[in-house]
Amino acid sequence: MSETAIPAAVDDLRARVQPLREDPGSVLEALHAAQDVFGYVPPEAVELIAEELGYPEAHVYGVVTFYTMFYAEPQATHILRVCRDLSCHVKGVRGVVAAIEKKLGIHAGQSTADGRFKLELVSCLGQCDLQPAMLDNLAPHGHLTPERVEKLIDELGDEA
């Protein structure tokens, strides 16, 4: 195992993965644990999960790259996922996206230089009652306007 990861984090992940050994198909649960521990799924986690669960590393890595919920690289503190589907489009999501891009100085798919924010445009968030809607990580925010989203970004940026 590579020693680039923090040893305590590796030990934490190992402790969370070991009980999954007897559970066939537990790769997803182990990957969620890895992302919980590291904030993404580093190569060390793939290696550990493969070793503990008895899968080839290529299999575990294939699962990481197949599902969009897993990240193989470090991510921003706040991932802003903005719905771009028709109902949010009709309710003015383009102005909301423009306000986010201007406020943060980034475009969709990019992260701020300080690693605090990343903007993603996504299909349906299942928040149609909140349109136009956005998730900050998993926290829903709705009925957005350019002004409301700028205020929300200020509040998120003030968090320690």
Domain edges within the chain: 7-66, 78-158
Residue 60 pLDDT: 97
Rounded CA gap, 23 and 125, in Å? 31
| pLDDT tens-digit series, residues 132-155 | 999 998 899 999 999 999 999 999
Residue 1 pLDDT: 47
Rounded CA gap, 54 and 96, in Å? 46
Compute the C-alpha angle 59/10/54, nearest 5°: 30
Residue 133 and residue 153 in contact, taking contact as beta carbons nearer than 8 Å: no
DSSP designation for 87 = H
CATH architecture of 78-158: 3-Layer(aba) Sandwich (3.40)
